[in-house]
């Protein structure tokens, strides 16, 4: 990238900083928990209005039965197609968290995860158009309302024809300012154990405890964790029994699974489903598996990150890569073979926590970097 182009991009965002921040605050104030369809659709209205005002394009909305609408926009008309994915749903109930700005810091529900990323994507493409920068790409912007609950209804729409895309950019926030080049695959199991009830004092020998079996299976599952390979299983919830003087006839376990590779995921899922009851009188029913495939450091992903490093160097912006345990919609794009960049959104901290916040100066540099990415060869 020529120094004059890098300078023009930086100057553009210095000049339009407050306008971008105003759009950002407006989107954060449009609260949008995944589980509140009405609130989410009101947020989608605000989002569509911002895109139409800033980019001059209307979106196609995809209604769902449970969640807010998903929406897709097309920007540009170049031969190289790019997919940009962001989610506007949050984990915060309406009214549970206030929005505020103190100098360089914005706080609010979903500000970090991931509404800044959405605004950044819009303004990066606006900057390309306003500055008249060369861009040989058509960008499909897809904003969904169900990422925090698994993206089950959105990904079939967003990834209907994945072969058309040269690359995907995921607008999730950075992790400690790092660009995410690896994410673990995420899954889970629900294990229902049936036993035989009896009086714990009068006839304990006639009972078969589902809770005792759950303790055995918990130990077995936790023994499958291997920190060296990155495989973790966690029994996070156990519900069972009725009273202390009754041998438990039922127990339900909820289990979290994380793996680094698809091959390891297949192995562990098969091992969990192979678990059998330890004795007569017990039943073990296992449901679940991997819900998001691993986002691996594939050659395509790393080549794309290498290109981003070059753009960042030209713009005088420091970046580095990082691996994380949480999943995103980038897990799906990467698993389909689309070279993927993730963590291209906000710089800050506190996703899903009371401390959630965005650092504006560093986040604006990410918007500058994204602008440079659209103009790169």
**What does each of the 377 residues of the chain score in pLDDT, given as a tens digit?**
788 899 999 999 999 999 999 999 999 999 999 999 999 999 999 999 999 999 999 999 999 999 999 999 999 999 999 999 999 999 999 999 999 999 999 999 999 999 999 999 999 999 999 999 999 999 999 999 999 999 999 999 999 999 999 999 999 999 888 999 999 999 999 999 999 999 999 999 999 999 999 999 999 999 999 999 999 999 999 999 999 999 999 999 999 999 999 999 999 999 999 999 999 999 999 999 999 999 999 999 999 999 999 999 999 999 999 999 989 999 999 999 999 999 999 999 999 999 999 999 999 999 999 999 999 87
Distance in angstroms (rounded) separating the CA atoms of residues 32 and 39: 5
Q: Do the Cβ atoms of 261 and 294 come closer than 8 Å?
A: yes
Specify the pTM: 0.91
Distance in angstroms (rounded) separating the CA atoms of residues 321 and 312: 13
Among candidates 326, 329, 256, 261, which has minimal Cα distance to 298?
Answer: 261
Two tokens, residue 6: 């890098």
Cβ partners under 8 Å of residue 346, min gap 6: 111, 112, 113, 114, 116, 117, 120, 173, 174, 358, 359, 363, 366
**Measuring CA to CA, how many Å separate 199 from each of 202, 205, 208, 376?**
5, 9, 11, 73
Cβ partners under 8 Å of residue 218, min gap 6: 235, 238, 253
How many other C-beta atoms are found inside a 10 Å radius of the C-beta of residue 164? 12
Domains and CATH numbers, the chain: 3-183+295-375 (3.40.630.10), 185-292 (3.30.70.360)
Q: Do the Cβ atoms of 44 and 121 come closer than 8 Å?
A: no
């Amino acid at each position: 990238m020529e120094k004059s182009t890098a300078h023009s991009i930086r100057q553009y965002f210095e000049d339009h900083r407050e306008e971008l921040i105003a759009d950002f605050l407006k989107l954060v104030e449009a609260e949008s928990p995944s589980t509140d369809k009405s609130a989410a659709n009101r947020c989608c209205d605000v989002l569509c209005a911002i895109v139409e005002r800033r980019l001059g394009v209307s979106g196609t909305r995809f209604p769902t039965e449970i969640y807010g609408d998903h929406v897709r926009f097309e920007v540009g008309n170049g031969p190289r197609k790019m997919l940009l994915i962001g989610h506007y749903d949050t984990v915060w109930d309406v009214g549970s968290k206030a929005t505020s700005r103190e100098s360089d810091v914005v706080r609010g529900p979903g500000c970090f995860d991931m509404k800044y990323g959405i605004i950044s994507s819009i303004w990066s493409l606006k900057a390309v158009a306003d500055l008249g920068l060369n861009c040989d790409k058509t960008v499909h912007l897809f904003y969904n309302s169900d990422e925090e609950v698994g993206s089950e209804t959105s990904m079939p729409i967003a990834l209907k024809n994945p072969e058309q895309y040269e690359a995907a950019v995921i607008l999730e926030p950075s992790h400690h300012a790092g660009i995410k080049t690896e994410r673990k695959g995420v899954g889970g199991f629900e294990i229902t154990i049936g036993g035989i009830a009896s009086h714990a004092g009068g006839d304990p020998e006639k009972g078969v405890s589902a809770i005792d079996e759950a303790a055995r299976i918990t130990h077995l599952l936790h023994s499958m964790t291997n920190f060296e390979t990155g495989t973790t299983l966690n029994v996070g919830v156990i519900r069972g029994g009725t009273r202390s003087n009754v041998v438990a006839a039922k127990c339900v376990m909820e289990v979290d699974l994380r793996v680094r590779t698809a091959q390891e995921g297949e192995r562990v899922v098969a091992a969990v489903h192979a678990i059998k009851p330890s004795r007569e009188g017990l039943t073990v029913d296992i449901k679940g598996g991997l819900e998001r495939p691993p986002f691996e450091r594939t050659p395509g992903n790393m080549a794309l990150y290498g290109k981003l490093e070059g753009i960042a160097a030209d713009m005088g912006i420091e970046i580095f890569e990082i691996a994380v345990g949480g999943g995103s919609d980038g897990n799906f794009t990467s698993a389909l073979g689309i070279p993927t960049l993730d963590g291209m959104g906000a710089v800050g901290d506190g996703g899903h926590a009371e401390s959630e916040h965005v650092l504006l100066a560093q986040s604006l540099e990410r918007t500058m970097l994204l602008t440079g990415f659209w103009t790169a060869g």
